[in-house]
Structure 1
Amino acid sequence: MSRWLVSTLSMINGFMALAIFSLGGLLGGILLGQPGLILGFIGGFLAAAILCGGLAALCLIEKHLRVLADDLRKRQKAIAPTRTEPSIR
């Protein structure tokens, strides 16, 4: 369940970044006119990069940890101790 939630959050993160970028441009254009449009897009890009970039980094770290944990589980199953009988010769 938690893997599905992280995957969903990662997908929503992209839409959220696009919304922040667009909202910054829209607000800049409304408040300051033509020069504000450019400044708004720059501000929106910076805000999206900081907020969504940080969240994307955390999602990426989680995916890497997931790969490491799955690999460790596979190795532990392969090395599982089996009982061997001693030789009586």
Structure 2
Amino acid sequence: MHRTLADLLAGLTSISAFVMIVVAMAFGYATMDIPGLIMGLLGGLVVAAVMCGTISLLVLIERHLRELAEGIRPEAARSAPVSRARMDSAAGRIEPALR
């Protein structure tokens, strides 16, 4: 579920950045014609870069952490059901016991 929401947020970030830029351009054009349009474009780019860039950075960090977490788990533990965990005293970690 979290994976789906993170992917949805990544897609919505691009759309919201485009909307922010268009709204800023429309506001600039309504106030000062062509110079306002250019100022609105620049202002919209700055606002979209800060807001949507921050969200995109967080989504990217989440994806990297997901890849790291999936790479740490052993292949057998991902595919086989876990009946109980046993403690590996030499390594100090918990490993799943396979049936």
Same fold (TM over 0.5): yes
- 1:36 equivalent to 2:36? Answer yes
SS of match in other structure, 2:74: helix
| CA distance 1:81–1:74, change in 2 (3 Å) | closer
Q: Distance in 1 between matches of 2:20 and 2:42?
A: 11
Q: Distance in 2 between matches of 1:54 and 1:66?
A: 19
Aligned to 1:86: none
Deviation of residue 81 (structure 1)? 7.5
Q: Distance in 2 between matches of 1:74 and 1:29?
A: 58
- Structure 2: 5+ residue stretches without partners: 79-94
How many residues of Structure 1 are paired with residues of Structure 2 in the alignment? 81
- Structure 1: 5+ residue stretches without partners: 83-89
Q: Distance in 2 between matches of 1:3 and 1:66?
A: 9
Q: Which has the higher strand share?
A: 2
- 1:54 equivalent to 2:57? Answer no
Identity %: 35
Aligned to 1:66: 66
Give every structure 1 segment of 4 or more consecutive aligned residues whose post-TM-superposition deviation is greater than 2 Å: 74-78
CA RMSD of aligned residues (A): 1.9
Q: Which has the higher helix share?
A: 1
Aligned to 1:21: 21
Letter in 2 for 1:21: I
Letter in 2 for 1:23: V
SS of match in other structure, 2:36: helix
Deviation of residue 26 (structure 1)? 0.7
